[in-house]
Amino acid sequence: MEPCITRNDIANSDDVPGLKPFPERLYAVPPRIASGAVSGVSVEEYLEDNKLWKKHVNAYRKINRIIDSGRYRNIMDMNAGFGGFAAALQSPKLWVMNVVPTIAEKNTLGVIYERGLIGIYHDWCEAFSTYPRTYDLIHANGVFSLYKDKCDLEDILLEVDRILRPEGAVIFRDEVDVLVKVKKMIGGMRWDSKMMDHEDGPLVPEKILVVVKQYWVGNSTSSQ
């Protein structure tokens, strides 16, 4: 975890501003971005990512109007990137577990910490260390495309099913061909699902799949 620790000599240097108090820290440029410590990530790219996730989350709020109601308190982002989803969603009514996949192209967990957010590394080919039915809302951006050559999509979906509470929701954002396969699998899991176009229109190959895990029990029979 040492790479995630913000060194004092970086955070407090003359050229790099230090950590701001929360919640200003959510959108301030993190010291490791400003100093160039994250390879291949510029300040401009980070700021554009923030704008993009504000746009995405605004679209989610139109799709699911109870996101800000307090019903979803425990939330997970399965592929958190810089933590833009959590920052755009920030509210005292909820908290977000930001997961950085171990196979992600960029190591962004330190950036997530510097934004004042919670995060963890995880390999989605394995079980996530938490109790069943922990999360009310799960967000998965590009997770299936990331793992398509690593493990079966069914295994990831079963783990999502395990950690999602009944009547909880999942927002999948991915390429349309991937989500078509996911939607077919979800039909056998007794989840309600709806495919939606990207907020920029139907010509964008990236789509949104919103699902709700139903609460159901098997039929009970009694013997005389």
pLDDT digits (tens, 9 = 90+) for 128-138: 999 999 999 99
Q: What integer pLDDT is reported at residue 223 of this predicted model? A: 47
In a domain, 118, yes or no: yes
Instruction: Say if residues 33 and 43 touch (Cβ distance below 8 Å).
Output: yes
3-state class (DSSP) for residue 169: strand
In a domain, 19, yes or no: no
Q: Is the pLDDT of residue 59 over 90?
A: yes
In a domain, 180, yes or no: yes
Cis peptide before 23 (omega within 30 of 0): yes
Instruction: Write the pLDDT tens digit of every residue in 165-195.
Output: 999 999 999 999 999 999 999 988 889 999 9
In DSSP terms, which residues pair with 115 in a beta bridge?
none
Range of the domain at 188: 29-213
Under the banding of pLDDT at 50, 70 and 90, the label for residue 203 is very high
Q: What integer pLDDT is reported at residue 12 of this predicted model? A: 52
In a domain, 9, yes or no: no
Q: Is the pLDDT of residue 56 over 50?
A: yes
Under the banding of pLDDT at 50, 70 and 90, the label for residue 23 is confident
Q: What integer pLDDT is reported at residue 128 of this predicted model? A: 97
Give the chain's domain count.
Answer: 1
In a domain, 220, yes or no: no
Under the banding of pLDDT at 50, 70 and 90, the label for residue 215 is confident
Q: Report residue 218 as tokens.
A: 């098997």
Q: Is the pLDDT of residue 105 over 90?
A: yes
For residue 173, which phi and psi values (nearest 5 degrees)?
A: -125, 120
Which CATH number characterizes residue 83's domain?
3.40.50.150
- Average pLDDT (53-58) is 97
In a domain, 15, yes or no: no
In a domain, 192, yes or no: yes
In a domain, 190, yes or no: yes
Q: What integer pLDDT is reported at residue 176 of this predicted model? A: 97
3-state class (DSSP) for residue 123: coil
Task: Give the mean pLDDT of the chain.
Answer: 90
